[in-house]
């Protein structure tokens, strides 16, 4: 490990000597102040930041990425020669419009956009303000802090993965990851790519892959689209979603992608990398039906099972969460997107996975709610806008709930695991070991499984395996509560010296 034994020691001595307080520490004593801090510059955060700035509020927008847009509006780095990045996106015009407003506000100083800033925790001060602690720089070595009276958490989601035999083989990529690779670097994970899992993202991914030149022999969806039709009122309220679905269907047909519903990839084959997958029929509980396996040759597999809200900062702030119909936890929100903690609002996937349209709507609505609180009321036009946004939100939330129900993994998925299938890749914990921890050592919840097996203790801190571990604990445990959302008091790894720098004198 590269290190210098002299330098940190010298810093220690330096702090101990009077009058040698280093600059960084001094700056951090009085953090930058803002009326509103928005965390996340994806659709929800962007909408919240520009709306708040439009109405004269002083905003700091913190985002881990170098360019705004989040996971959804991810765009190629300059110099890659991408001429039409919008081709891979929907609502691209909305993004270009938001970006233009952000740029204008940045120029005028109304929004300070701290790109490349990863917030690792938030804390409340004695007088009710929030301190957002962030790291930035190439190796995330520089620390900063922002002090804000109010906070909008638009921290998005990460992809939900379910393990299956062979999923650690090179060539297996996450569906969202494949999409991100395309959007940011315009690279394909393979030439003949099976897309599998569950959820509407798969359609978008399959279409993007074929447009970028890949052959997609099959889109394998474990649920069925028919379930949507059983909620006609929700569909009637969301005609745009039906149109979107039809458009994807047509695009998939044109690209000769076979759509296989009620089926799942239950095994991946190959020595060095993916050569083929086995696709099996699954019943309504996602249990593989014996004897239905069929091999499909491919050189890559893009797989995903929906998204999981990233709640680290909401939990750090003390926001109450609730379990959703999709099997994930989300922040409890009121009609104005306030969390259970005063001074904290949340928008987009934080309140439950619902997609880009909902994120845009909620970001704007959260900002209007803050304006109402700051000003003690809003003008008629803004009030009407808030009502309209509230209606859209209810409609879109109803659709999100339907989507979550349709694509929630059925309890039988774990039957496609073998004892030696790795569930936690970071710590190489197999399904068999988790089963033993539950059946013989008395674990029945995620935390105890983690304590007894190390599942979820590695680099990703359980972001990849958390859902699967919870499901296995429920399936094999003794009927205990699986526990609330996974807690990660540090939202990202932080260097020890960075933490040490925060230690004041005395």
Partner 1 sequence: MDVVIVGAGVVGAACAHYTSRSGLSVAVVDRGPVAGGTTGSGEGNLLVSDKVPGPELELALLSATLWQQLSEELPPDIEYELKGGVVVAASQDSLAALSMTATGQRRAGVEAYHVTPDRLRDMEPHLAPHLAGGCHYPQDAQVQPAVAASELLRSAGRRGALLCPGEEVVGILTDSRGAVRGVRTTRGELRAPVVVNAAGTWGGDLAALAGVHLPVLPRRGFVLVTEPLPRLIRHKVYAAEYVADVSSGSAALQTSPVVEGTPSGPVLIGASRERVGFDRTLSVPVVARLAAQAAALFPVLGDVRVMRAYHGFRPYLPDHLPAIGPDPRVPGLFHACGHEGAGIGLAPATGQLIADAIRGKRPALDLAPFAPERFDAE
Q: Residue numbers of the site for partner 1 (CB under 8 A)?
A: 1-3, 5, 7-9, 11-12, 121, 123, 131, 133, 316, 318, 427, 437, 440-445, 447-448, 451-452, 454, 457, 459, 461, 478-481, 488-490, 493-497, 499-504
Nearest to partner 1 of 83, 478 (CB atom): 478
Q: How far is the CB of 448 from partner 1 (least distance, A)?
A: 4
Nearest to partner 1 of 144, 461 (CB atom): 461
Q: How far apart are CA 159 and CA 173, in angstroms?
A: 11
Q: How far is the CB of 390 from partner 1 (least distance, A)?
A: 31
Q: How far is the CB of 453 from partner 1 (least distance, A)?
A: 9
Compute CA distances 97 → 91, 93, 154, whole Å.
Answer: 10, 6, 19
Q: How far is the CB of 12 from partner 1 (least distance, A)?
A: 5
Q: How far is the CB of 320 from partner 1 (least distance, A)?
A: 13
Q: Which residues pair with 297 in a beta bridge?
A: 276
Residue 223 contacts residue 247 (beta carbons within 8 Å): no
Nearest to partner 1 of 232, 489 (CB atom): 489
Closest residue by Cα to residue 197 from 462, 396, 413, 353: 413
Nearest to partner 1 of 226, 493 (CB atom): 493
Q: How far is the CB of 486 from partner 1 (least distance, A)?
A: 11
Nearest to partner 1 of 5, 381 (CB atom): 5
Q: Which residues pair with 219 in a beta bridge?
A: 195, 259
Q: What backbone torsions phi and psi does residue 464 show, to the nearest 5 degrees?
A: -80, -45
Question: The tokens 């702030």 sit on which residue?
Answer: 317
5: Cβ contacts below 8 Å, ≥ 6 apart: none
Q: How far is the CB of 376 from partner 1 (least distance, A)?
A: 30
The 8-class DSSP code of residue 153 comes to E
457: Cβ contacts below 8 Å, ≥ 6 apart: 424, 426, 427, 450
Q: How far is the CB of 70 from partner 1 (least distance, A)?
A: 24
Nearest to partner 1 of 129, 427 (CB atom): 427
Q: How far apart are CA 3 and CA 24, in angstroms?
A: 20
Residue 266 contacts residue 416 (beta carbons within 8 Å): yes
- Residue length of the chain: 506
CA geometry: angle 429, 157, 382, nearest 5 deg:
165
Nearest to partner 1 of 9, 128 (CB atom): 9
Nearest to partner 1 of 28, 103 (CB atom): 28
The overall longest dimension of the chain from CA atoms, in Å, is 76
């Amino acid at each position: 490990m590269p290190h210098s034994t002299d330098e940190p020691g010298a810093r220690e001595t330096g702090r101990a000597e009077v009058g040698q307080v280093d600059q960084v520490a001094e700056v951090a004593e009085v953090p930058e102040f803002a009326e509103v801090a928005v965390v996340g510059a994806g659709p929800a955060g962007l909408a919240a930041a520009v709306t708040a700035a439009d109405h004269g509020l002083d905003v700091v927008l913190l985002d881990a990425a170098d360019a705004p847009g989040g996971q959804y509006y991810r765009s190629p780095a300059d110099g890659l020669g991408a001429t039409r990045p919008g081709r891979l996106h929907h609502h691209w015009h909305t993004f270009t419009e938001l970006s233009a407003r952000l740029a204008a506000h940045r120029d005028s100083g109304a929004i300070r956009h701290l790109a490349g800033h990863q917030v690792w925790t938030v804390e409340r001060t004695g007088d009710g303000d929030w301190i957002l602690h962030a790291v930035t720089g190439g190796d995330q070595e520089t620390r900063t802090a922002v002090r804000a009276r109010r906070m909008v958490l638009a921290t998005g989601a990460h992809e939900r993965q379910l393990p299956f035999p062979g999923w650690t083989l090179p060539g297996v990529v996450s569906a969202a990851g494949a999409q991100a690779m395309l959007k940011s670097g315009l690279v394909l994970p393979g030439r003949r790519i099976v897309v599998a899992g569950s959820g509407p993202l798969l359609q978008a991914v399959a279409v993007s892959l074929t447009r970028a030149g890949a052959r997609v022999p099959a889109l394998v969806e474990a649920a069925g689209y028919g379930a949507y039709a059983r909620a006609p009122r929700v569909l009637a309220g969301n005609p745009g979603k039906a149109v979107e679905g039809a458009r994807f269907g047509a695009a998939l047909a044109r690209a000769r992608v076979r759509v296989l519903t009620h089926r799942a990839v239950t095994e991946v084959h190959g020595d060095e990398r993916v050569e083929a997958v086995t696709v099996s029929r699954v019943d309504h509980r996602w249990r593989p039906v014996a004897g239905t396996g069929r091999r499909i040759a491919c050189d890559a597999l893009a797989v995903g099972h929906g998204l999981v809200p990233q709640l680290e900062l909401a939990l750090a702030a003390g926001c109450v969460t609730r379990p959703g119909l999709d099997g994930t936890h989300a922040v409890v929100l009121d009609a104005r997107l306030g969390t259970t903690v005063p001074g904290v609002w949340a928008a987009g996937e934080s309140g439950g996975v619902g997609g880009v349209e909902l994120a845009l709507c909620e970001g704007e609505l959260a900002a209007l709610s803050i304006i109402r609180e700051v000003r003690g009321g809003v003008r008629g036009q803004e009030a009407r806008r808030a009502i309209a946004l509230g209606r859209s939100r209810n409609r879109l939330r109803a659709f999100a709930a339907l989507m979550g129900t349709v694509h929630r993994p059925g309890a039988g998925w774990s039957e496609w695991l073998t004892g030696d299938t790795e569930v936690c890749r970071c710590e190489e914990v197999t399904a068999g070991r988790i089963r033993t921890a539950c059946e013989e050592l008395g674990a029945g919840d995620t935390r105890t499984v983690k304590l007894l097996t190390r599942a979820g203790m590695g680099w990703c801190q359980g972001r990849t395996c958390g859902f699967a571990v919870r499901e296995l604990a429920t399936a094999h445990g003794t009927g205990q509560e699986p526990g609330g959302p996974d807690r990660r008091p540090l939202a990202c790894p932080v260097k020890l010296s960075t933490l040490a720098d925060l230690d004041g004198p005395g």
